[in-house]
Structure formats: C-alpha cells, structure tokens
Structure 1
Amino acid sequence: MNLDGSGLTCAQVHAAAHGEARVTISGVDRARAAWAAARQLTGIVYGRGTGVGANKDVQVEHGGPDLLRSHAGGAGPLVEPERARAMLVVRLNQLLAGGSGLDPGVLPVLARAINDGFTPPVRTYGAIGTGDLTALATTGLCLLGELDWHPPPTPRPTTTPPPRFALADGDALPLISSGAATLGDAALACHRLRLLLDAAVDVAAFSFVAVGASAEPLAAAVQEARPHPGQAVVAARLRGLLSQEQGVRVQDPYGYRALAQVHGAAMDALDRAETVVGTDLNSASENPLIAGSLAWHNGNFHSGPVALALDTLRASLVQAAQLSTARLATLMDPGFTGLHPFLADRPGGSGALILEYVAQDALAELRHLATPVTTGTAVISLGTEDHAGFATQAARHALRCVEPLEIVLACERAAATRALHGPTPDRPLTSDVEAARLALRGGG
C-alpha cells in the first residue's frame, strides 16, 4: 500500500493497522519543500522558538525534547496495538501531504515502525479534539529512544533495531500538531461499521422471509418518490434478495415497512462520515502550516467537522439497531411466524426468548454511546484555547459501537435462522450468537 499524502481510505488504514498490508512511501517532495522552507523562516513562529498554548509569546531555546517530554502525559489503559498503528499510518500520510516542516528523514523510519510492528505505548486519555498531543509526543520520545516501543506481536530477529530518529528542536511541534490518533480510530470505526451495516441488509432479508413480510415497500416506484441515496441502495439490495411475490399483509410493522428509510439513513450518515474522515486523512492539518516560504498560523487542527459527522453516525446506528430489535420481536410472535411463541419446539418452552434480553442490553449500550459530544466544550491553557471539538471521544465511541451493534444484529440473525430451519429443544444460545457474529464478519 503506497502512501503519498493523498487517496488514503478508511479501509486502507484498517488493513495497515491490522498487519494485512505493508506501507511504502512516495511523493516526498512536498514534505521536503516544507522542511527546507521551515529552516529559512525568520521572525516569531509558534512552536519554533516559542512556547505553546498560553506560552505562545514566550521565547524559548532548545525546547524540542522538553516539549515532547511535557506532553507525553496520557493516562489510563494502553490502546490496542492496531489503534496505535492506525495513528502512525495516518500521521505518516499527513506528513507526506506537506506543510509540517518536519525533517523528512523521519518518514521512512515511521514506515518501518508500521511494517515491523512497533507501536508507541499510547494511553487512552489525553486529547479533546484539538490535537492528539499526548499520543504523538509519546511517539516522539520513542523515536528519540527515551521511551521503549512496544515490540511486534511476532518476534523479530534480534538484529532488528527499534525505529529511532534524532528529532531536532524544531521537529517537536511539527510531529505532534495533528489529530492522527483520533482519525485512526475514526477510520477503523468507519470501515468496520461499513461491513456491519452491509451485512445487516442480509440479516433483514432472513427475517423478511421468516415472517413472510411484504416486499411492496421496497418497490422502485416507492424509492423514486423519495430519492434518498441510502434508502434506494438498501431497497435495491433487498429487492435482489427477496421474491417480489412474498408477503400477504397490507401493512407490516415498521421493522420491515420502514427498513429502507431507517437503514438507508444510517448508510447515508456513514457515507458522510467516511467523506469527512477521508478529507482529514489526506490533509495538512498543521499549525503553523508551512506553505511557500511562510508560516501560516491557523486552526486546521480543530476536529469540529469530524465530531459532527461521527455524532450523526452514532445516532443513526441506534435507529438501525432499534429496527433490528423490532424485527426480532416479530420473530418471537406466532402471529408472524406460525410457530410456537419464542420459536420454542413445544408449547411453554422458552426457545429463543433470551435473545431479546441480549439484544436489548446491547441496544442500551449503543444508546449510551450515541450521546453527542458536540454539545460540550472546554476552555484550557489560561483561556488561550477556548473551544474543543471532542472528536477524540466521538471516534472512540464510534469504535466501541461495533461490538453492541454486531450483537444486536447477531441476535436477529440467530432467531431468523432458527425460524427458517426449525426450532430445536431448549439449550444455551451463546454458540448461536457467536456463530452469527462470525457470519456478520464474513466468516460464514
């Protein structure tokens, strides 16, 4: 997978983060030009000869390592290696976009860290959507040799040295002026949610067949009358999976009748989130931005657009999951399936009743994770930094949404499969749910 500062996608971030693709770099001219221009700058340039935050007007000398040391102060548990690696992939691509003024000699070193499986010991807490300072400062100290990289999951030859680079004083702020960790989480979340929302259409098709739901609401004429893109895509996919003669009821419950509208809105929200995240994956979000022969002090680091897009996405997941639990309820109802209540094999049996409890528990978690971050802010650094986007939390919560959404859909799939294949005697259903989760991931 080649990185050149443009064209990086959420799917590619996921592949590189999980060791499914190696990275190469090309097109370093923009990074090299910014570095050369930065070395010729005169006058006051934020972070290059000044303190940061409220210390922006205080001149300092030789403060590079100290800036990294002071900002590498994250807290809480270590993030998973794939999340730390996603951050490295994003930051490397951003640096290739130019504008940082960072020594381009560090670029192949970061690429080697990604490919060899080294990750910085990044802590969970320490950012509010105005730059992932603690995570990237920790990375800088690893490059300097002051902190140890986490070793690769697969042991390397003892002759493989850890990635090192002698960052100069002026390289500290250019390295950490980025939301790369937040964007890494957002990219991982968008990719995994894409797979789940696609698979959810197939799950819904099982339920349609199991209860004999009408395909009439999916007709092309209906979609053309209200042409939302996601709605049209979902309806078309379901039409391709179902018989157009199926179903005899005039008005099915909303879990079926309004599926294209609700699930389609989630697909539209995901498309929007991927577009916003993709823009930032390939942007120079540096402050100051080195462009031409000048340093431009700016606010491109602010994550407001990402936070807003991810807030909408998480809310839409709740709507989609609520319809899944609604369909699950119909699968328990003999009035829809013609079987015993709860898909039991005999009158009075519990059958698949417990799946509703599991799904509603997971749905409650999704509702919690959908709480918007964009309604809050923070004022820090003696009032100099007087707004925060909290996209960090939005991305973290979006990534956490994957598990409960998968469980809700797995419960529906397990119930629909039982309805279609015939009830079995009462037994633990954990293996059914786990098999359904595996199927949702494309494993069966």
Structure 2
Amino acid sequence: MLNTVKKDSSANTCSGQDKVIIGSNRKLLLSDVKRIAQYPVIIDLSPDTHDTVKKSYEMLKLLADKRIPVYGMNTNFGDQVRYMDTHLKCDNSELYYASMMRRQINIIKSLACSQGQVVTPEIIRVTMTLRAHCLAQGYSGVSPDAIATILSYLNAGIAPVVRCYGSIGASGDLIPLASIAACFLGENVEVSYQGKIMPASEAMKQAGIGKLRPQLRDGLALINGTSFMTAIASTALYDLNRLFTQTLSAVAMSLESMLVISSAYHPLVHQLKFHKGENSINDFILNFWEGSLLISNLDELRTTETAYKPVQDYYSLRAVPQGFGPLQENLSTAVLWVENEMNSVNDNPIVDAEENQIHHTANFMGYYITEACDLLKADIAQASTWIHALLANMLHPRKNHGLPVNLTLDPDNHNGFRSMQLLSAALAVQNRKLAQSQQAFSLPTEGDNQDVSSLGAHAAFDLRESVMNLERLTAVLLLASAQALELRGIQKASLRAQEIHQVIRAHSPVLSECRPMSAELTSIVNLLQEELI
C-alpha cells in the first residue's frame, strides 16, 4: 500500500448535506482536510462536547472568582506574565471581569499584524476548524460562545484575510490566529465572503453574526496553538500523499522508455535490504510494468554479441526503490504526526476539570509539524533531483539508447524537450533550496521568553511550495515519458503506461513542432490534482 491516508473518518454525510463532526471523542484524519477546506461543508460539534467544555469553563470561572492567578486570565502574557491584573484584589467583580475581558481583547488586537501574501481561504477554513476542534476537547476553559463563533464563521462561509508572515511556532501561531480572532471581535480587518473582500463588520452584518465578547481566557485560547501551521502542513501532506503514487508512475514510465534492466528490480535484491519502503516501491514498479515488452533482460544482454545497451544502468535507472523508499516511510510517519497534531490539545494553560488542576505548559510548540515538514522537504529535493536526472537520460543521445536527441525527430529545426529540461532544473534547484531545515533558524524573541521556537509555519509553507514544484516536475516527466514511449512504440509499453498515455494525449498532443507548453503543463497538473492519472 503506497497511500498512507486512511479513508474512514469521523466525518458524516447526513440529510444530503456534507458535514464534519468535531469535538469530544472525535478524531479528524488527513482525509477530512480536503472536505473541511471546501465551503459549504458544515462543521458541527459532537453531542457530548457541550458538557465537556462547560465543565472546564466552570472550573476556570471558579478560580477567577476566588482571585487565584492563572496565566493569561488574570495575569499578563508571555514575558509580561509577572504583571498581575490590577483588579485582582478588587472587591468590585464588575471591574475585575471587565479588566479580564479587556485583556483578552487587547492581546488579539495587538497581535493582528500578519504581513506578506494572503493565505488561501481553504487553509484558513482548516485552521479555524482545527482551532475549534482543539478548544472543544474541554481542556482550554473557554466559553461555549468562543467555539460557537468559530463555527458561525465557518458555516457562513466567511474566511478572515490572513497573511503568511508572523508565526514563529512558539506560543503557537499567535499572529495568524490573532488575525482570525480579530474578525470575531468585529475589528477593522478584512474577510473573504461570497467571493468578495470586505470589512469583517459588514460580513458579520450580512451573515447575521454578532461580535464575540471574550470571557476569562477566551482571547488567549483562540490564538495560543498550532492550528495554522498544522492546517498548512495537513493540506500539503494530503496533496503529497496523492502525488507520491503519481510521481512513481511517471518514474516507472520513464524507466520503461529507457529500456531499463529488470535485474535491479528482482524482489530478492530488495528483500536483502529489509527496508519496508524500498520493498514496497519495488513491488509497485514491478506491478506497473505488467505487460511491458520494453524491459531489458540481463541474461539476454550478456549473450547478445551486439548488445543495444551496457549490462548495467545508470544509478537513476536502477536505484529507484532505494532512493524513494525513505520518502515513503517518512510520508507515513508525517501522516501520523500531523494527524496527532490535528487532534491535539495544543493550548496553554491546560485546564483539567476532572482533577481540578491547571497546568502551565508548552503544548503550543510545533516541533512535530516542523520535523515532519523538514524530513519531507529533504526527500522531495532528492526526488526532484532524481526526476531531472531521468529527464537528462531520456534527452541526451549519449545516454538514451537510441531515442532521438531531445525526443524530437527533427532536431535541425525543433527543440523538443530541451526547454523542459531547463524548467525541471529550475524547479529542482528551488526544491533543493527549500530543503533547508527550518529548525536551524530558531531565533529568540519576545524578551527572550520565547527563547526557542519551532518555526512550524515556515516549514509548512516551504513544504507546500515543494509539493507544488514536485507536481510540476511530475507533469514534465509524464509528458516526456509519453513521447519517449511513443518513439519506442506505445503498443510495447505496459498496460498502465498505455492508459496514462491515452489520458495525456487527450490534453497534450505529440510535441512534433515547437510550441508554448505552459498551458499544457498546467493541464497535466490539473489531471494530477483531479486524480485522473
């Protein structure tokens, strides 16, 4: 099994309306992310969530009434935690609670300062859903109104405008999440609603949603977690999980076109290495080649007096299982880690109503997200370099075993796939740059209170870009492989390769003369995204 994402989930479809259930005793899976991202999928709470949330809120309210200091409720935040609420010992409860509410409003307003490119509404929908899911576990002490407000926005199709820069992954994603929460307060910020960008207050008015009045620690709870980085990572990981098999298919086609020697793919070879991923990929490639007449036999090459190729292939042709095996295994690990983070209580402090305890901790740290993304970025850089190498083999007459230069029959007048090789080099180089470990760039900040940081959002954005580039590289390799197999004789190719070739040719004809290829490459990328290849 190459696909590591489970299809069963806690999401339900009822009464003809697509609905995802979150909250207590519910586990979201990576397969839910695609649906959550799309409005008008309804996000609703499990029936037992209300009581769970109410218990933790009432416990926190009791501590507030007793004037017991709790971080972020009646103390200031971060490096300023030493500053207690000036009304903590005031007998006037009205002034005391008004002071706590003002503090919650101020922390949201002050942190709503994201910059850079606007993040897609789909990622923001996932972010909001994951934040609501976290708070609905009943360990944050939030008011039911805080969760209800998030769901109101989601189910009305309102997506706050959030820009990509601000999070450093310590104390979670403070700035991006505050940019979302500021909308709930009706602040002078923008949202996307019904295809238009408008002030949050206008969208709330049209949708019939009132302003949130944050209680106790509602403001901090809305912004103090990993929901933004996890949303980015989960959407990128969903795409990579789908793309991985498609990329392997493109690789298998290219190997066929290069008359690869089957000896390197004998099952015994990989059984002797013991690695699960390596063996799984080898099995995939062997199954893909079913029916192929283009795979070379080593014994035949050894006995042929005028062999059409050497008895051993280049590394990129004979080492695919060993090279792509780690990516498959790291992909499985990343799915586990990201799904755990999706369902985690990533807040601080944690309110344990059952044991009547408050824990001041650091579950808002996003190191598992960072590690998952950093691992996969490095693997994607390797895969990108590999695709470039395969393309080079197919295009160069010194290496391609009889294929025409640049896969064109008229090299005097036409350039064939030469430009595609340039494009693949540009994409591969970018992915190699993105492969740098984000954890290595941790920078102390906020009065050195946040003296270590995960940089999870940075890593997740880099992973997202890497996946998109790998998708483009896969499209290039598919086009080149389709052309190379035609030149060999498409009827000699494997059954699966012939199926893929037929789909490709419905959107991109043979490259016999020079023509602009940007639109056709985009068409192949769309086919990959629609899982038609």
Flag the 1:366–1:180 CA change in 2: closer, same or farther, 3 A.
same
Following superposition, the deviation at residue 424 of structure 1 comes to: 4.2
What residue in structure 1 maps to residue 234 of structure 2? 187
Flag the 1:380–1:347 CA change in 2: closer, same or farther, 3 A.
closer
Aligned partner of 2:389 among 326, 329, 337 = 326
Residues 170-216 of structure 1 show CA distances to partners (whole Å, capped at 9, x for unaligned) of 31112211111111101011111111112111111211221111233
What residue in structure 1 maps to residue 164 of structure 2? 124
What residue in structure 2 maps to residue 95 of structure 1? 135
Worse overlay, 288-297 or 376-385: 376-385
Following superposition, the deviation at residue 122 of structure 1 comes to: 1.4
Does the Cα contact within 8 Å between 1:411 and 1:433 map onto a contact in 2? yes
Matches within 5 A, 1:30-109: 30-41=52-63, 42=66, 43-60=68-85, 61-62=99-100, 63-109=103-149
Flag the 1:151–1:435 CA change in 2: closer, same or farther, 3 A.
closer
- The answer as to 2:90 corresponding to 1:3 is no
Aligned partner of 1:276 among 334, 337, 350 = 337
Following superposition, the deviation at residue 386 of structure 1 comes to: 1.1
C-alpha distance in 2 between matches for 1:160 and 1:233: 50
Following superposition, the deviation at residue 108 of structure 1 comes to: 3.2
C-alpha distance in 2 between matches for 1:226 and 1:32: 54
C-alpha distance in 2 between matches for 1:314 and 1:198: 17
Following superposition, the deviation at residue 403 of structure 1 comes to: 2.0
C-alpha distance in 1 between matches for 2:232 and 2:474: 22
Flag the 1:215–1:112 CA change in 2: closer, same or farther, 3 A.
farther
Following superposition, the deviation at residue 402 of structure 1 comes to: 2.1
Following superposition, the deviation at residue 262 of structure 1 comes to: 1.5
C-alpha distance in 2 between matches for 1:169 and 1:295: 14
What residue in structure 2 maps to residue 263 of structure 1? 324
Matches within 5 A, 1:233-252: 233-243=280-290, 246-248=295-297, 250-252=311-313
Residues 123-159 of structure 1 show CA distances to partners (whole Å, capped at 9, x for unaligned) of 2211101111112222222112224552334589985
- 1:407 is matched by which residue type in structure 2? R
Aligned partner of 1:315 among 378, 381, 390 = 378
Flag the 1:21–1:199 CA change in 2: closer, same or farther, 3 A.
farther
C-alpha distance in 1 between matches for 2:365 and 2:428: 31
Aligned partner of 1:392 among 444, 457, 461 = 457
Question: How many residues matched?
Answer: 444
What residue in structure 2 maps to residue 341 of structure 1? 405
C-alpha distance in 1 between matches for 2:361 and 2:236: 28
Flag the 1:37–1:157 CA change in 2: closer, same or farther, 3 A.
closer
What residue in structure 1 maps to residue 11 of structure 2? none
Aligned partner of 2:259 among 205, 212, 237 = 212
Flag the 1:432–1:148 CA change in 2: closer, same or farther, 3 A.
closer
Following superposition, the deviation at residue 89 of structure 1 comes to: 1.4
Length-normalised TM-score, structure 1 = 0.93
Does the Cα contact within 8 Å between 2:391 and 2:421 map onto a contact in 1? yes
SS in structure 2 of the partner of residue 328 of structure 1: helix
Following superposition, the deviation at residue 337 of structure 1 comes to: 4.7
Following superposition, the deviation at residue 309 of structure 1 comes to: 2.0
Q: Which runs of 5+ in 2 are unaligned?
A: 1-19, 86-98, 197-202, 299-310, 488-509
What residue in structure 2 maps to residue 417 of structure 1? 482
What residue in structure 2 maps to residue 224 of structure 1? 271
Aligned partner of 1:135 among 171, 176, 179 = 176
What residue in structure 2 maps to residue 375 of structure 1? 440
What residue in structure 2 maps to residue 295 of structure 1? 358
Flag the 1:79–1:253 CA change in 2: closer, same or farther, 3 A.
same
Does the Cα contact within 8 Å between 2:71 and 2:349 map onto a contact in 1? yes
Aligned partner of 2:42 among 15, 18, 22 = 22
C-alpha distance in 1 between matches for 2:219 and 2:519: 50
Residues 347-385 of structure 1 show CA distances to partners (whole Å, capped at 9, x for unaligned) of 434211111100000001101111111112222222222
Worse overlay, 369-378 or 214-223: 214-223
Following superposition, the deviation at residue 233 of structure 1 comes to: 2.1
Does the Cα contact within 8 Å between 1:215 and 1:242 map onto a contact in 2? no
Does the Cα contact within 8 Å between 2:262 and 2:297 map onto a contact in 1? no
Following superposition, the deviation at residue 76 of structure 1 comes to: 2.3
SS in structure 2 of the partner of residue 290 of structure 1: strand
Flag the 1:270–1:56 CA change in 2: closer, same or farther, 3 A.
same
Flag the 1:153–1:406 CA change in 2: closer, same or farther, 3 A.
farther
Flag the 1:211–1:67 CA change in 2: closer, same or farther, 3 A.
same
Flag the 1:256–1:98 CA change in 2: closer, same or farther, 3 A.
farther
Flag the 1:144–1:380 CA change in 2: closer, same or farther, 3 A.
same
- 2:465 is matched by which residue type in structure 1? R
- The answer as to 2:32 corresponding to 1:12 is yes
- 2:375 is matched by which residue type in structure 1? T
Aligned partner of 2:525 among 434, 437, 444 = 437
Flag the 1:436–1:215 CA change in 2: closer, same or farther, 3 A.
farther
User: RMSD of the TM alignment (CA)?
Assistant: 2.2
Does the Cα contact within 8 Å between 2:415 and 2:514 map onto a contact in 1? no
Following superposition, the deviation at residue 338 of structure 1 comes to: 2.1
- 1:364 is matched by which residue type in structure 2? V
Q: How many percent of aligned residue pairs carry the same amino acid?
A: 23
Does the Cα contact within 8 Å between 2:257 and 2:481 map onto a contact in 1? yes
Q: Which runs of 5+ in 1 are unaligned?
A: none
Following superposition, the deviation at residue 317 of structure 1 comes to: 0.4
